[in-house]
């Protein structure tokens, strides 16, 4: 456990404990929570709600962002409405025990964090609810309960995301956004919770059990949501790997490009949604190679002009393949433009500098570094990281965006590798149609690089270019 994580858990645990002690001193459990007509009715009422909450917790589902959600939230809100802050805090504290915790699958600090992220918010929102006047009016009570549930759930979400973020190093907002759909569904449980409380009062404890069925179906809906998303992720990953595996030399290429591109994106502080686009774009950037015949893709000799043209179509083909998938719309520019050159000599659209989408410029650097540092049939001994970085620097402003190369230098991929820095004297970059024509000419003369543009043997205005795949 890191120091930061330890400090966060300590603060959350201390705050929750202080809130619990304050609630014990200030807020006796409301009599409405008691099961009427029974000795120790209040105690039995607490046991009933804790049991209901615990059975909801045992049906927990892990969300894509890493958070675990369950339907125990509804009994906590109902208890808050019936018995006040202390009752809500106790039900949250004991009733949020999850089966995986009992199986000891969760480390002790995880259990402490789980308790703290629900108990503190339950007491705090219960206290807010207790401040609302006029709750004898059903409408007022309903609105106040929904409001308190929203506070409870928002605080729980924030604290849980903070914990997962500090533990795993991921962005907190990204985690929250990843699970947003499920959170809104959870919030929709608040009216159910209010109804549970009213049924408990008017019909009795047994009537509350009728809500078990909708709660269970809600849980099933979460599970389906998670399963479908995971299936999508795995399918995309398999698809990318299937393309890479057609050529034994490029197996795993897309996954490595994805990781490098995401690291560059983090250094450049791109937004969370752009980081996600880099993740998917990294995996899928060469998906268009599906449409390149084996005779071209796997050819180890020099490609003819025709073959090179077919090979260079893969960014366009990739974009066409992905276009019908609406969810992948942000990745389209990355896929289409990952072979554009900064000076306009790339393909397919010969865009120049800032005309090239920023994420495509990032991916281009990641793609080149991965290709240079991996074995290829035309170069069985890969370049060292130092040599590859030297190439990226040499071609900064020509093939690569120099700002992206600057960012790449600060990633873990070239940590401790000497950086030659930006070259001081730079040939005037070629721009526009002439450059494109030159590039195509060079491409035909070179079958040694994966993207076929430039080589040590072609000469010309631009120096030899590093390979990209």
* Min dist. Cβ of residue 378 to Fe ion (A): 15
Q: Candidates 85-93, 175-183, 342-350, 366-374 — which segment interacts with Fe ion by CB under 5 A?
A: 366-374
Both tokens of 70, joined, read 């369950």
Asked if 276 interacts with Fe ion (CB under 5 A), we say no
Torsion of CA 10, 11, 12, 18, to 10 degrees: 100
User: By C-beta, is 256 or 393 nearer to Fe ion?
Assistant: 256
Question: Which residue in 50, 69, 92, 469 binds Fe ion (CB under 5 A)?
Answer: 469
- Torsion 143-148-150-153 (CA) sign: negative
Q: For residue 144, what are the contacts with CB-CB under 8 A and spacing of at least 6? A: 129, 132, 135
Select from 85-93, 178-186, 281-289, 293-301 the region that touches Fe ion (CB under 5 A). Answer: 281-289
What is the enclosing helix (H) or strand (E) of 68? strand 68-69
**What number of chain residues touch Fe ion (CB under 5 A)?**
3
Residue 244 binds Fe ion, judged by CB under 5 A: no
The residue (of 179 and 370) whose beta carbon lies closer to Fe ion is 370
Under the binding rule (CB under 5 A), the answer on residue 331 touching Fe ion is: no
Q: What are phi and psi of 379, to 5 degrees?
A: -155, 85
Q: How far is the CB of 450 from Fe ion (least distance, A)?
A: 7
> Quick check: 173 and 19 in contact, CB under 8 A?
no
Shortest distance (Å) from residue 126 CB to Fe ion: 55
Residue 156's closest CA among 130, 194, 197, 190? 190
C-beta of 328 vs 469, nearer to Fe ion = 469
Q: Residue of minimal CB distance from Fe ion? A: 469
Residue 455 CB, shortest distance to Fe ion, in Å, is 17
Of 68-76, 159-167, 228-236, 280-288, the window that binds Fe ion (rule: CB under 5 A) is 280-288
In the complex, what is the shortest distance from the CB of residue 285 to Fe ion, in angstroms, rounded to a whole number? 5
Least distance (Å) between residue 394 CB and Fe ion: 20
Q: Which is nearer to Fe ion, 264 or 469 (CB)?
A: 469
Containing H/E element for 61? strand 61-62
Using CB under 5 A as the binding rule, whether residue 367 contacts Fe ion is answered as: yes
Judged by CB under 5 A, which stretch of 97-105, 193-201, 367-375, 412-420 contacts Fe ion? 367-375
Tell whether residue 286 is a contact of Fe ion (CB under 5 A). yes
DSSP classification of residue 69? E
Its sign, for the CA torsion 116, 119, 120, 125, is: positive
Q: What is the dihedral of CA 194, 196, 197, 198, to 10 degrees?
A: 90
Q: Does 335 bind Fe ion (CB under 5 A)?
A: no
- Provide, rounded to whole angstroms, the least separation between the CB of residue 208 and Fe ion: 57
340 in contact with Fe ion (CB under 5 A): no
Nearest of 194, 195, 160, 202 to residue 178 by alpha carbon: 160
Applying CB under 5 A, which residues contact Fe ion? 286, 367, 469
């Amino acid at each position: 456990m890191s120091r930061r994580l330890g400090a966060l858990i300590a603060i959350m645990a201390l705050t929750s404990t202080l809130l619990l002690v304050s609630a014990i001193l200030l807020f006796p459990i409301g009599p409405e929570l008691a099961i009427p007509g029974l000795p120790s009715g209040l105690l039995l009422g607490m046991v009933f709600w804790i049991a209901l909450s615990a059975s909801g917790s045992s049906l927990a589902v892990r969300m894509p962002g890493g958070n675990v959600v369950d339907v125990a939230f509804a009994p906590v809100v109902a208890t808050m409405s019936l018995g006040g802050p202390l009752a809500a805090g106790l039900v949250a504290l004991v009733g949020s025990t999850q089966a995986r915790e009992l199986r000891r699958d969760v480390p002790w600090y995880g259990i402490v964090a789980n308790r703290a992220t629900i108990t503190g918010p339950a007491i705090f929102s219960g206290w807010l609810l207790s401040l609302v006047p006029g709750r004898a009016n059903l409408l007022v009570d309903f609105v106040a309960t929904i409001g308190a549930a929203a506070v409870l759930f928002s605080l729980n979400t924030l604290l849980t995301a903070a914990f997962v973020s500090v533990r795993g190093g991921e962005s907190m907002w990204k985690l929250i956004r990843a699970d947003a759909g499920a959170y809104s569904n959870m919030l929709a449980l608040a009216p159910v919770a209010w109804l549970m409380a009213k049924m408990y009062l008017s019909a009795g404890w047994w009537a509350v059990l009728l809500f078990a069925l909708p709660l269970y179906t809600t849980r099933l809906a979460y599970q389906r949501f998670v399963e479908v998303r995971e299936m999508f992720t795995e399918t995309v990953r398999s698809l990318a790997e299937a393309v890479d595996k057609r050529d034994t030399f490029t197996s795993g290429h897309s996954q490595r490009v994805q990781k490098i591109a995401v690291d560059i994106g983090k250094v450049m502080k791109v937004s969370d949604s752009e980081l996600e686009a880099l993740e998917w774009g990294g995996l899928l950037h060469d998906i268009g190679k599906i449409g390149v015949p084996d005779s071209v893709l796997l050819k180890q000799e020099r490609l003819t002009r025709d073959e090179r043209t077919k090979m260079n179509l893969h960014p366009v083909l990739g974009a066409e393949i992905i276009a019908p998938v609406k969810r992948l719309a942000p990745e389209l520019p990355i896929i289409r433009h990952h072979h554009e050159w900064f000076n306009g000599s790339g393909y397919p659209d010969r865009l120049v500098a800032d005309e090239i989408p920023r994420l495509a410029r990032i991916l281009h650097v990641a793609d080149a570094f991965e290709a240079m540092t991996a074995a290829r049939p035309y170069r069985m001994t890969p370049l060292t990281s130092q040599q590859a970085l030297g190439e990226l620097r040499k071609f900064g402003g020509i093939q690569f965006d120099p700002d992206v190369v600057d960012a790449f230098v600060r990633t873990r991929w070239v940590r401790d590798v000497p950086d030659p820095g930006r070259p001081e004297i730079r040939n005037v970059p070629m721009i526009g149609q002439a450059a494109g024509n030159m590039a195509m000419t060079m491409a035909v003369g070179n079958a040694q690089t994966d993207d076929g543009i430039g080589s040590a043997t072609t000469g010309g205005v631009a120096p030899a270019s590093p390979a990209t795949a």
